[in-house]
Structure 1
């Protein structure tokens, strides 16, 4: 595996093609904060965990797989892949998909600390850089009535861990510990900004 190295020459962002390999509206909104032109392409990736695969390994593998799935059709582009897997005592917690599974997740996590592993991959041709940003989240010990009221209000069924920290879900949490506050939302912008700068992108872009 080749790792991205710091670029010697910074080119204008418009001269580079940047693609976000994701169907997540949250990741798209986060990437828009950097004010770099980019397009979105949906990656076709099987997200089924491998036997015995840890949460960290799963997140890293899927982030790379998403980037690679798009990069093969766009060899000249810089492609961003990302994935998040929550971990409770070694058990992976993914997107619930519906109310019943979301309720079960929140019941399981209440009063506990959960690590959200947010993996990031920046790929260009046969070069790549992949990192994992962990976020430790302590959930409050709340009643089923409170959990149900939250789920009906926000319907976070497409979020790993069933709680949107950027929305009403913050009320379910007691504490968050992370080196990158955007990692929990789905795309670690601190780490990504560094990778993109090393690749020659201007951040902030010059007017």
Structure 2
């Protein structure tokens, strides 16, 4: 996603525990993790403008994380069929050397179709989205699971809201255009 901006960048994996805190709301969890990821990498690269992000699927206030297994993915999609799920996509930009830190949240409202078990099984075997919040990848075959997507940033559901990213890195001194 970031390559679309034509800017040079490196990828660094943050060492952050992604376990939700007891009672933590999905939006709060996504924001906490995006900030923790950006801060952790910024400590190792203090001159860099660091982007951290995280996405949590919110089903009626309950966070749905990455399923990890086929069985958990089946259970998630069965629970989401015919439901509206809010994908909370948090973004944080940190540059330690200049004392810059901003964070924002893009809430993407997604309405799932009334899926039957055969459709769920076919999708999961084809896409294997076991590392994806809510078991659905809209950038691929997962788009067929959906009835509607409502948001203000078309890239937010894929995991990096580029409109917000551009605004925040410009504020940190990066010239996007």
Q: TM-score range by the shorter chain?
A: over 0.9
1:59: how far off? 0.4
1:201: how far off? 1.8
1:77-92 alignment runs, 5 A limit = 77-92=48-63
Distance 2:113 2:106 in 1: 23
- Give the TM-score normalised by the residue count of structure 1: 0.83
Q: Which has the higher helix share?
A: 2
Gaps of 5+ in 1: 1-29
1:75: how far off? 1.0
What is residue 140 of structure 1 aligned with on the other side? Answer: 113
Off by >4 Å, runs of 4+ in structure 1: none
1:98-137 alignment runs, 5 A limit = 98-125=69-96, 126-137=99-110
**Alignment pair present for 1:193 and 2:166:** yes
Distance 2:140 2:160 in 1: 16
What is residue 22 of structure 1 aligned with on the other side? Answer: none
State the superposition RMSD in angstroms.
0.8
What is residue 149 of structure 1 aligned with on the other side? Answer: 122
Distance 1:92 1:199 in 2: 31
- Give the TM-score normalised by the residue count of structure 2: 0.97
The structure whose RCO (Cα within 8 Å, separation 6+) is larger is: 1
1:64: how far off? 0.4
What is residue 56 of structure 1 aligned with on the other side? Answer: 27
Structure having the higher Rg: 1
Instruction: State which of 14, 23, 45 in structure 2 corresponds to 1:74.
Output: 45
**Count of residues in correspondence between the two structures:** 175
Partner of 1:72, secondary structure, is helix
1:203: how far off? 1.8
What is residue 35 of structure 1 aligned with on the other side? Answer: 6
Partner of 2:106, secondary structure, is strand
